[in-house]
Amino acid sequence: MRARLDIAYDGTDFSGWAVQPGRRTVAGSLVSVLEQVLGADVATGLTVAGRTDAGVHATGQVAHVDLPDPVWAATGPTLLRRLAGLLPGDVRVTALTEAPAEFDARFSALFRRYVYRVTDAPWGANPLRRLDTLAWPRTLDLDRLNEAAVGLHGEHDFAAFCKRKENATTVREVTRLDWRRDASGVLEATVQADAFCQAMVRSLVGAMLVAGDGRRDTSWPAAQLTRRERSSAVTVAPAHGLTLVAVGYPESSGALAARAAATRRLRAPAS
């Protein structure tokens, strides 16, 4: 059977999601604990919706693994609590449910949604939020940030904002990109797209921040879309301000399968 894992983690001390020899990663921690509980090679095919970079956080990450039916029948009711007892404090599986066989955490996803937090308070970030909030040294204008965001909506080739991978497309469709100030005065950028290429969200944020503080015109970020290679003028915002907050999926099994097939045709060349 296929199990869906909803996952949250503080990315501060992780070298990203993907397993890397000699490095502490989210996937590595999960695999290790699953093997402790179930035995080696029992949970197979760990697949994630979004392979976050080093230092990036998540409250709404999604992954799947495949388990033998008898193992799920025997351990399913207690597995979530057993994982909580063994996982390190900076990563948690928040839900563990049986998923349709057609569910694919990566290819069935309709969208990924991120939030980037920035404070322009002269005294910096709240000490209790310093690990997920960027302290910006200049005053930011909310209207300018949203003006800069407008031209980045829609389907574009985001090569200027991505670390290109061989044989992988950099065309993406951004379906939401907007800024707000919360009650404490912290600025939050919400960025949603069908998928993201490496460093894309942080590059978009970096481009908008220099428009928001007045050092660039608000039309400048969108003007970078004419480039067909990574723009050296775009600064990648630090990882710690970014959190993956949601991944959306179709509701029916048939729609899950159709979405996965369509996405594989488009994205399969990407690693």
Q: Identify the active-site residue in 6, 13, 41, 53.
A: 53
Buried b (16+ CB within 10 A) or exposed e, 52-74: bbbbbbbbbbbbbbbbeeebbee
Q: Which of 204, 197, 216, 213 is nearest to 241 (CA)?
A: 204
Q: Which of 196, 227, 222, 225 is nearest to 208 (CA)?
A: 222
Q: Would you state the structure tokens that stand for residue 20, as one six-digit string?
A: 């890397």
For CA atoms 17, 23, 28, 29, the dihedral sign is negative
Q: Would you state the structure tokens that stand for residue 46, as one six-digit string?
A: 């760990």
What kind and span of H or E run contains 83?
helix 69-86
How far apart, in Å, are the Cα atoms of 47 and each of 33, 52, 229, 267? 16, 13, 29, 15
Q: Would you state the structure tokens that stand for residue 137, as one six-digit string?
A: 């040294």
For the question of residue 53 being annotated catalytic, the response is: yes
How far apart, in Å, are the Cα atoms of 24 and each of 53, 57, 237, 239? 12, 14, 22, 16
Q: Which residues are catalytic?
A: 53
